[in-house]
Chain A
Amino acid sequence: MSDEPTETADAAEDGGAVVERTRRRFPSWSRAVESEWFVVGATTVAVALFPWLFARAPVVSDLLNGYQDLASLILIWGIFAMGFNLLLGYTGLLSFGHAAFWGGAAYAAGLFSTQVSSSPLLIVAAGTVFAALLAWVLGFVALRRGGIYFAILTLAFGQMMYYMALSPLSGITNGENGYTDVEVGQLFGSFHLRYPVPGLDWLLGTWQYVFVGAITVLCVALAYRVLNSPYGMVFRAIRENEQRAEFVGLNVWRYKLMAFIISGSLAGVAGSLFTIHGSYVPLESLYWTTSGEVVIMAVLGGVGSLFGPILGAGLYLYVENITSGIRELTVPLTDVVLLDGFGAYWHLILGLVFVAVIVLFPRGIWGLFRDVAAGIRRLGGGRR
């Protein structure tokens, strides 16, 4: 406002009106983009198109080398990273033990599927409830401390869960072999998750993808609503200045616990889907490297946004699953082999990608997109 040029007295009225009108055109567009219907709608379209583009579309899929199963896996990790980021990016709390919720829910879902019901929806519900309760308990203790102490406490809890599953509880969890008795039934008793969707299998693939995709959209809608509720504002206030938040009369401790529970629950949704996706719970799902991976995904994608971490999850899994499959690195369009056994270096490649993104685009991939979009808009504005 203050940087508007001052108008001369006689032009003030007309000029002011013009400025007002042109200014209003963009806000109405950006308001539409920010509306919930737009976000949920755009997410639905993106989720629906994703497996086709990734695995079956001409040219694009040949370049990407993607496959159906990885598309579901990216969405599942995307939910995990998005939930994790509610805590890191929005509330400013670095948890280094989110494997506890992901893996805990994965085991809970697996056990539930054998012991109680094999309905996919109920499996996800069971895993999520378990993760939420676990987050409540762990958060109650870990949130007593801030900063690095909080990170270490969550790490310690995560590792405790890992060792519990490895040895004392191996009678239930099947120890280091992972839980193999997962039974996944049919969705609503009639849709077999492994079967293709009749008529739409070219677009969506299997019922499993539909199931995972629908829950992804639901989770995005939920997270977006939370961020646009009073909680979203309070979370960011806590991130910005915890002391001030307390001294405007907010119960910071309870809001932090809620952030932890919401974040843990989303990790639980993802962990349960992971069990359904693989019909198996690997012990590594509780290991600290899983907690580390989700941190990397969130930072890679951009912690300042809701969608960034989903992109980060996509890029991470892409390098892990596709790039690692490339056997030889050749000079393009020739047969000259640059490096044999290229794929074996995928960790190194991921490291390089990570360093490049962080150095060049500190706000992650999403931040890069935003900058590009802002640049284009500025070019358009300049011409007018």
Chain B
Amino acid sequence: MVLLETRGLTKSFGGLVAVDGVDLAIEEGESISVIGPNGAGKSTLINLVTRMLDPTAGEIEFKGESITGYEPHEVVQKGVSRSFQTASIFPELSVEENAQIASLAAEHGSFRLNFLRHRDNYGEVEASAREILDAVDLLGQRNVTAEDLPYGDKRRLELAIALASEPDLLLMDEPTAGMSPEETAATVRLIERVKEELGLTILLVEHDMEVVFNVADRIVVLHRGAVIAEGAPEEVQGDPEVQEAYLGGVEA
């Protein structure tokens, strides 16, 4: 089943076309990686799909339903979650509260009039937050203030926040940016593990080719906002147009 589909998705900023008529289809359970040189429109694509930006033209469908007019939180409630390029967390709250906020949104929906109900009554939120923290190995640090975590752990916390939203599709914007090789390897293992455990479909935007080839079943190459190649990692690797545009002719 096609989980996410974009048709003719286009975004221009003034005269600059950042995303140019992208047709993309992601099957359930698939791991797709979007690669391309800087400024190819990868992040813009994610921002369009998560409704952070309004498309200039085109259609986005999730589970066969158009989400083009949705608010960002509605898209998350439908089952699309994302991580950001910089670790986007709630810095002054504890690690556990960070996860609880996301669990709360998943369990209770986008809004409820429950401001007079004590949060001790929400055991299911606490339980699911702990489960997620356990899955990313942060349960031991649950009482630490999030901003005091080392960088790699912050990224893992962000992944936990994204996972606590109980998504079907997870979009990750350069999850290993700024990480040491060890942290990168650990993150790849983590992504593969949660993907398997939670049956996630993943769309990954990434610069690190090692990560891409490890995680992705299929690669989509963007160049100047348009898809120039698409296929299994080995196929894309050998594509002369891709080497020209992206790898700069260097033999991989």
Contacts and interface: CB of A to CB of B under 8 A. Distances in A.
Nearest to B143: A1
B164 interface: yes
Interface stretch (A39-47, A123-131, A230-238, A270-278): A230-238
B76 A248 contact: yes
Contact of B122 (A230, A251, A262): A230
Nearest to A226: B115
Contact of A1 (B84, B100, B112, B141): B141
A211 interface: no
A248 B105 contact: yes
Interface of A is mostly: helix
Contacts of B90: 236-237, 240-241, 244-245
B111 interface: yes
Given A244-B90, A249-B110, A237 B101 contact: yes
A246 B77 CA distance: 10
B127 to A, nearest CB: 15
B73 A230 contact: no
B67 interface: no
Given A240-B93, A241-B91, A248 B115 contact: no
Given A247-B76, A248-B165, A233 B104 contact: yes
Contacts of B112: 230
Contacts, number: 111
Given A237-B93, A240-B90, A240-B93, A248 B101 contact: yes
A251 B73 CA distance: 6
A258 B110 CA distance: 13
B104 A230 contact: yes
Interface string A239-262: 011011111111110110010001
B69 to A, nearest CB: 15
A68 B48 CA distance: 61
Contacts of B52: 247
Contacts of B109: 249
A247 B118 contact: no
A228 interface: yes
A252 B76 CA distance: 13
A233 B77 contact: no
A333 B248 CA distance: 86
Interface string A95-138: 00000000000000000000000000000000000000000000
A108 B197 CA distance: 59
Contacts of B82: 247
Contact of B115 (A229, A250, A252): A229
Interface of A: 1-2, 36, 222, 225-226, 228-234, 236-237, 240-241, 243-252, 254-255, 258, 262
27 contacts: A1-B141, A228-B118, A230-B117, A230-B119, A231-B114, A231-B115, A233-B101, A233-B104, A233-B119, A236-B93, A236-B97, A237-B90, A237-B93, A243-B84, A245-B90, A247-B52, A247-B72, A248-B105, A249-B73, A249-B77, A249-B81, A249-B106, A249-B165, A251-B73, A251-B111, A252-B73, A255-B111
* Closest A-B pairs by Cβ, 6 of them: A249-B76, A240-B90, A251-B110, A249-B105, A231-B115, A248-B102
Given A233-B97, A236-B97, 6 more contacts: A225-B116, A233-B104, A236-B93, A249-B106, A249-B110, A250-B111
